[in-house]
Amino acid sequence: MRHAIPRRRLTTAALGAVLLVLGLFPAAGRADAADTLLSQGRPATASSTESGAYAASAAVDGNTGTRWSSAFSDPQWLRVDLGATATITSVKLTWEAAYAKSFQIQTSADGSTWTTVYSTTTGTGGTQSLTVRGSGRYVRVNGTVRATPYGYSLWEFQVYGTGGTGGGGSSTAMPDSFWGDTAGIPAARNVVEVKVLNRTNGRYPDSQVFWSFNGQTHSIAEQPYLDMPANSAGRMYFHLGSADSQYYDFIEFTVGPDVFNGNTTRVDAFGLKLALRLHSHDGTDQQVGENYQTFTEDRMATFARFAAAVPTPFQHSATATAPYRIVSPGGDPAFQPGGQYQNYLSSYASSVGVSATTQQIFGCSGPLAANAAQCAALNRHTADLPAAQQETVSNFYRAAPANYYAEFWHDNSLGALAYGFPYDDVAGQSTFISHGDPQYLLVAVGW
């Protein structure tokens, strides 16, 4: 589901003033858990091996005296199974003399459909430490051009991040305790049973957590469930404090006769922390939304972290409508024609042959309304790269100007998935979830 609206950042001096206005203190450091080595000792397979002495497992055994070596042909790959979905933040390759000139780092949920999170045609061999951003249970290095007449050979293939089997606190799924007991959720008579959860950390009682849909408004103290019927499209709103409070947010969805399609969204603004868990009768379980660490911190801490994370043009978002919302840059007058930052993205667009205002780029409107890939590339600052590299996740937000509002929500969401601008679903980066024969949908509402 595609939406529209804006984003922002601060200088060190200005940040102090902003936080004083908000009554906040800057976070001492990132809330993210330290990256964990996920791949060591995990099952590994390869497209080929030179001989039994050079097995795939040798590249993930933690021993720099053993190695994997492939057949002497292109392409070849080495894959590790992390045991469960993980968020991948970096990969370290320790090459033997037979290295890859061209290769990709790819992730997959099922071991068959792959997403490229890093790509190069100028590999240098030796030890390569690569910053990436992606998620998946499986991670592979896929060599397409060898640098020598021999095969591909790695002393070590090390994958770092959070999650996986034995990882340090998955950021692709909430702890089971967050969702509570699901055994008592009633069976849906219509399409899917929705249950709204109070995850405000004690700030509001259930009697002050409200949901609204299709003419109904209830607190979850009186009615935590909704048996959702089929409908063409809709929004479900959530309010804290009262049924018409300024503390509100919503999810979007389309529901068919036997399918749920929906998402959380930050396209217009951040209002409340939201997370979805869609569970289907075949056992499929999908989770999206703000991550656990963001849910557990106070609202003002989230505002402060946003202000500290984004550059000067975006910092106004943390104060313009505080403490109610962090607005996206598409709706900020500073980025609109005549505003202080009206040329923030338009000059970059012009440099790659696109004529669009900054507001149109953030909102994927005007000349970009029918060009999802181009709008996404401009927001992510990849439009200047070859087309094959514009949707490589590791290339996103690496240089200014870019949509740093969107980047913040990706960095603080389950699986690094967020809807930070209307076409953020390009390259599968949005919070859109879908499945047939759904059983229940949990909606967690946070403070």
Render 345-411 in DSSP notation, one character per residue. Answer: THHHHHHTT----HHHHHHT-GGGTT-HHHHHHHHHT-TTS-GGGTT-GGGTT-SSSS-HHHHHHHH
Give CA–CA dist 120/373, Å, rounded.
Answer: 21
Domain extent, residue 53, equals 36-163
The enclosing domain of 144 has a CATH number of: 2.60.120.260
pLDDT tier, 174 (very low <50, low <70, confident <90, very high otherwise) = confident
Is residue 9 domain-shared with residue 61, that is, in the same domain? no
pLDDT for the residue 112: 86
* Dihedral sign (CA 357, 358, 359, 361): positive
Where among 105, 137, 163 does a domain terminate?
163
> Which of the two residues, 411 and 172, has the higher pLDDT score?
411
Asked if residue 265 has pLDDT above 90, the reply is yes
How far does CA 158 lie from the centroid of its chain?
Answer: 22
The edge-to-edge listing of strands for the beta sheet with 231-240 is 216-219, 209-213, 231-240, 248-256, 259-264, 433-436
Asked if residue 358 has pLDDT above 90, the reply is yes
pLDDT for the residue 270: 98
Is residue 345 domain-shared with residue 429, that is, in the same domain? yes
Is residue 410 domain-shared with residue 263, that is, in the same domain? yes
| Listed residue (48, 80, 89) closest to 62, CA to CA | 80
| Listed residue (273, 289, 278) closest to 255, CA to CA | 278
110 near 69, Cβ under 8 Å? no
* Dihedral sign (CA 298, 19, 268, 237): positive
How many domains does the structure of the chain reveal? 2
| Listed residue (91, 15, 10, 34) closest to 293, CA to CA | 34
Asked if residue 129 has pLDDT above 60, the reply is yes
**289 burial class (0-12, 13-18, 19+ CB within 10 angstroms)?**
buried
Worst-scoring range by mean pLDDT, 28-42, 239-253, 431-445? Answer: 28-42
pLDDT for the residue 165: 55
pLDDT tier, 5 (very low <50, low <70, confident <90, very high otherwise) = very low
Asked if residue 144 has pLDDT above 90, the reply is yes
Rounded to whole angstroms, the maximal C-alpha distance in the chain is 71
Asked if residue 295 has pLDDT above 80, the reply is yes
Is residue 24 domain-shared with residue 40, that is, in the same domain? no
Asked if residue 21 has pLDDT above 60, the reply is no
Is residue 142 domain-shared with residue 192, that is, in the same domain? no
Is residue 141 domain-shared with residue 221, that is, in the same domain? no
Worst-scoring range by mean pLDDT, 164-178, 385-399, 423-437? Answer: 164-178
Amino acid at 366: G
Residue-wise pLDDT tens digits, 365-383: 999 999 999 999 999 999 9
Is residue 159 domain-shared with residue 183, that is, in the same domain? no
| Listed residue (76, 74, 46, 71) closest to 60, CA to CA | 46
pLDDT tier, 232 (very low <50, low <70, confident <90, very high otherwise) = low
pLDDT tier, 184 (very low <50, low <70, confident <90, very high otherwise) = very high
Is residue 375 domain-shared with residue 435, that is, in the same domain? yes
Give mean pLDDT, residues 50-59: 91
Give CA–CA dist 396/376, Å, rounded.
Answer: 10
Give CA–CA dist 309/314, Å, rounded.
Answer: 10
Is residue 189 domain-shared with residue 220, that is, in the same domain? yes
pLDDT for the residue 8: 30
- Rounded to 10 degrees, the C-alpha dihedral 22/27/28/31 comes to 170
> Which of the two residues, 55 and 83, has the higher pLDDT score?
55
Is residue 242 domain-shared with residue 322, that is, in the same domain? yes
Where among 163, 193, 220 does a domain terminate?
163
Asked if residue 170 has pLDDT above 60, the reply is no
Alpha-carbon separation of residue 119 from 263, 329, 392 (angstroms): 29, 30, 7
Give CA–CA dist 54/66, Å, rounded.
Answer: 8
Query: What residue has token string 């959860």?
Result: 197
pLDDT tier, 345 (very low <50, low <70, confident <90, very high otherwise) = very high
Is residue 207 domain-shared with residue 328, that is, in the same domain? yes
pLDDT tier, 17 (very low <50, low <70, confident <90, very high otherwise) = very low
As a whole-number percent, the residues of the chain with pLDDT over 70 amount to: 90
Mean pLDDT taken over the chain: 89
Question: What pTM does this model have?
Answer: 0.68
pLDDT tier, 20 (very low <50, low <70, confident <90, very high otherwise) = very low
Helices (H), 171-279: 176-179
Asked if residue 16 has pLDDT above 80, the reply is no
How far does CA 177 lie from the centroid of its chain?
Answer: 22
